[in-house]
Chains A and B, each alone.
Chain A
Amino acid sequence: MAAPEMAAARDDLAEVPEFRDPATGELRQETMIINMGPQHPSTHGVLRLVVELDGETVIRCSPVIGYLHTGIEKNCEYRTWTQGITYVTRADYLSPFFNELAYCLGVERLLGIEAPERARLIRVLVCELNRVASHLVWLATGGLELGAVSMALYGFREREIILDVFEAITGLRMNHAYIRIGGVLMDLPDEGPRKIRDLLRVIPRRIDEYETILDENPIWRERNEGIGVLSAEQALAFGVTGPLLRASGVAADLRKDMPYCGYETFEFDVPVRTEGDAYARYLIRIAEMRESLRIAEQAIDRLDGTPGPVMVDDPKVGWPPKLSVGPDGIGNDPAYLRHIMEESMEALIHHFKMVTQGAQVPAGEVFSAVESPRGELGYLLVSDGGNRPYRVKIRDPSFVNLQALPTAVEGYLIADLIAAIASFDPVMGGVDR
């Protein structure tokens, strides 16, 4: 249509009486409240956003959560301490090792024991590899949501390499229940160090590829720079931790501030930026992946020179079965089976009691926190002296970070809302537990 005809058409529209305010005669404008989710391709999991729009501008955004509430905390109160590991590992399902580590560190503090040196190194190793895997999923899904579809395939391709290593070590790709009270479940397999070293050779080159694709990409920069900005005061007020806080200029990382599990003996940097936007968070996560690989390399080198047990020696605490990954999955060590079935009745009774009832944990309360890929992951563990937790409270970083979402997106466009959520990297399993 030519321009004068279009203008005439618009005037016709303006003549429709419903579109005019009866009092003032002005064209009426209203905001629109739309509902995004819980089933939506562009929100990380089952997050529901009630968004009030003025045209395409977000005036208000209200997250509604709870669509993945699983009752993990209540369920832990009815299971033994060791069974609790299998529950908490599924809370924040993209960083299972961190959940297990924080939980086990808390229980070990209640018990007053410490895992052996080799177990601590293995814990650091798998946690840092998990951090890389989690950031890869963020990169994959974030790229997919913003339209960089090839990033989704690349991210999951690299993640398969890491999951292959996890499967060789723990027997499972996800939700491992590998870090146990007093150590880890079993030692690295024979081909473990070689696989990890291969991984450490391959993945940094791939991260270089991602930087080549995305860093100076004009579309990526336009969609991420200046989006979802959180200032340092806002971030601290909302309790935000992790890459979001470091992107806003506050250099806070639990691995450096309150080290656990031997992190003070490793050399690594913590990337910090000041812009506080989605692009800064992207740069920080890429840098964190490199630092994690650096830590993993140091860990695997030190593991070569640190033989020893991977489970604490205390018979009242240590998980008795000696397991190993066999051709058809995880199985009991044949020598151990022979010992309990044929040689020693006491060993059999002890095995039975430890497996069915678990350790008795002295009464008390601890708060143990680790630096997960999303921020401060804390566990408040309350024990009443029995073999079951009295209260397990999961302080999940995504739950707290999502509180800051409305502040970060109000005033921006809907497309920026998607980019902002992607940069927040919420995992709804942790948010809703």
Chain B
Amino acid sequence: MPVERLEGVRTGRTPEEIEEEIQRGVLTTTLDRAVGWARKQSMWPATFGLACCAIEMISTGAGQYDLARWGMELFRASPRQADLLIVSGRVSQKMAPALRRVYDQMPDPKWVISMGVCASAGGMFTNYAVVQGVDTIVPVDVYVPGCPPKPEMLMYGILKLQERVRTTEPFK
């Protein structure tokens, strides 16, 4: 679509700079695509199952709803080896510092899925004991509602996250 350049308005880049940026973009787009694909293909979740949602998460990793289809069957116990934190279950006030510590120990790039309503917003437990949404502690990428979400729902959330990871530019 032709772009009209208005007289007297500067975009801040010279034609030579634009040309160079286009050329660089071709190279980095391919690299971006490759890195994005690789990252989403083998995300390793950290074992952070807390309550009922954890059982559904294990079911998602088990035989019937196989997470290995997307390279995620390897749940790493050490957060230093993981890049996805699926907070599955209610986070109590006592557990909140531990959650933050585990998140901090994960190396970049890392993503967080908040699984279930208890992790997303406190769920039905609007009281003194439960943190009303883990996004008050860690930045969340995908919220998966449900109490507990069926494995298909969690898989949908994971696929949405993978789409995002694939299309995010890693080198900025």
B-binding residues in A (CB < 8 A): 38-41, 45-46, 66-72, 74-75, 86-87, 90, 93-94, 137, 140-141, 152-153, 156-157, 159-160, 163, 173-175, 428-429, 432
Contacts and interface: CB of A to CB of B under 8 A. Distances in A.
A72 B127 CA distance: 9
Given A74-B128, A152-B58, A157-B64, 15 more contacts: A40-B77, A45-B49, A45-B51, A68-B90, A70-B129, A71-B129, A74-B127, A74-B129, A75-B125, A86-B124, A90-B52, A156-B63, A159-B59, A163-B59, A175-B148
Interface in B59-98: 59, 62-64, 75, 77, 79, 89-90, 92-95, 98
Interface in B119-172: 124-130, 147-148, 150
A41 B76 CA distance: 9
Contact of B150 (A40, A87, A173): A173
Given A66-B92, A157-B62, A428 B51 contact: yes
A46 B64 contact: no
Contact of B52 (A71, A140, A156, A174): A174
13 contacts: A45-B49, A45-B54, A68-B92, A72-B125, A74-B129, A86-B124, A87-B124, A140-B62, A152-B58, A157-B64, A160-B59, A163-B59, A429-B52
B102 interface: yes
A392 to B, nearest CB: 14
Contact of B62 (A66, A156, A432): A156
B129 A156 contact: no
List the 4 closest pairs (A to B, CB-CB), nearest first.
A71-B129, A156-B62, A93-B52, A41-B77
Interface in B16-63: 47-52, 54-56, 58-59, 62-63
A421 B58 CA distance: 19
A67 B64 contact: no
Nearest to A90: B52
Contacts of A74: 127-129
Contacts of A39: 47-48, 79, 98, 102
A97 B50 CA distance: 20
Nearest to B89: A68
Given A39-B47, A74-B128, A157-B63, A432 B92 contact: yes
Nearest to A67: B95
Contacts of B48: 39
A75 B128 CA distance: 9
